[in-house]
A and B are shown apart, each in its own frame.
Chain A
Amino acid sequence: DAKTTQPNSMESNEEEPVHLPCNHSTISGTDYIHWYRQLPSQGPEYVIHGLTSNVNNRMASLAIAEDRKSSTLILHRATLRDAAVYYCILRSGGSNYKLTFGKGTLLTVNP
């Protein structure tokens, strides 16, 4: 699986936007970009995924660079409940649906 690089940690203030970056310079043309988050002692929660175009859902937005070598997860207004480890994962577009988790970014939200 292609590798992703994320900052170890980031900090934000409540009700402010948060931009979580992810570099994936070795991404292939069929790799999907997935984002999950994990709160302490819980299973990961699906956030969003995309292939080439930017994506929006009720939780977040995903901005994908034109060359697809990087992407940014955008939380429009951070809340205390958004404090979690965020994982950026590349998934092959073939029949293998395995996800390989890296270390992710620990997001701290200050009140």
Chain B
Amino acid sequence: GAVVSQHPSRVICKSGTSVKIECRSLDFQATTMFWYRQFPKQSLMLMATSNEGSKATYEQGVEKDKFLINHASLTLSTLTVTSAHPEDSSFYICSARVPEETQYFGPGTRLLVL
């Protein structure tokens, strides 16, 4: 299957700072990537759909000014959590769509905001 990587795998930051998470498709080009968030003992919640070269589409209730998404190339999408607070601590997972197939997921990024 297709390979998707994320960096960093875990990050600890102070409240009020911004954190950038990278999502890369390693062996294919992805015109569409997705960002999810998962809290402990819960399922994945879709945050936004990221399309290369255009603005991301955010799900209801997700603040677009807080979670900045950039999809500047066919292999890279970034999620920046701005002015992070402890309640933003979560497991952030990206996925990339393979045309005519399905989504392949990254390994996730654990964010802890102190």
Contacting residues, chain A, for B104 (C-beta < 8 A)? 46
Evaluate contact between B105 and A43: CB separation under 8 angstroms: yes
Kindly specify which of B14-22, B41-49, B62-70, B73-81 makes contact with the partner chain: B41-49
Give chain B nearest CB distance to A10 CB in angstroms: 17
Q: Is the interface of B mostly helix, strand, loop or mixed?
A: strand
Evaluate contact between B93 and A98: CB separation under 8 angstroms: no
Give chain B nearest CB distance to A33 CB in angstroms: 11
CA distance A97 to B107 in the complex (A): 20
Evaluate contact between A41 and B46: CB separation under 8 angstroms: no
Evaluate contact between A44 and B32: CB separation under 8 angstroms: no
Smallest CB-CB A-B distances: 9 pairs = A43-B105, A101-B44, A101-B43, A43-B108, A44-B105, A43-B93, A97-B97, A43-B107, A43-B106
Interface residues of B (CB under 8 A from A): 1, 4, 6, 32, 34, 36, 43-46, 49, 91, 93-95, 97, 102-108, 110
A68 sits at the interface (CB 8 A): no
Tally chain A residues at the interface, Cβ within 8 Å.
20
Evaluate contact between B46 and A100: CB separation under 8 angstroms: yes
Contacting residues, chain B, for A43 (C-beta < 8 A)? 4, 6, 93-95, 105-108
Q: What are 14 A-B residue pairs whose CB atoms fall within 8 Å in the complex?
A: A34-B102, A38-B44, A41-B108, A42-B107, A43-B4, A43-B94, A43-B106, A43-B108, A44-B105, A45-B105, A46-B103, A46-B104, A46-B105, A97-B32
CA distance A102 to B95 in the complex (A): 17
Contacting residues, chain A, for B44 (C-beta < 8 A)? 38, 44, 101
Contact flags A23-59 to B (C-beta < 8 A → 1, else 0):
0000000000010101001111110010000000000
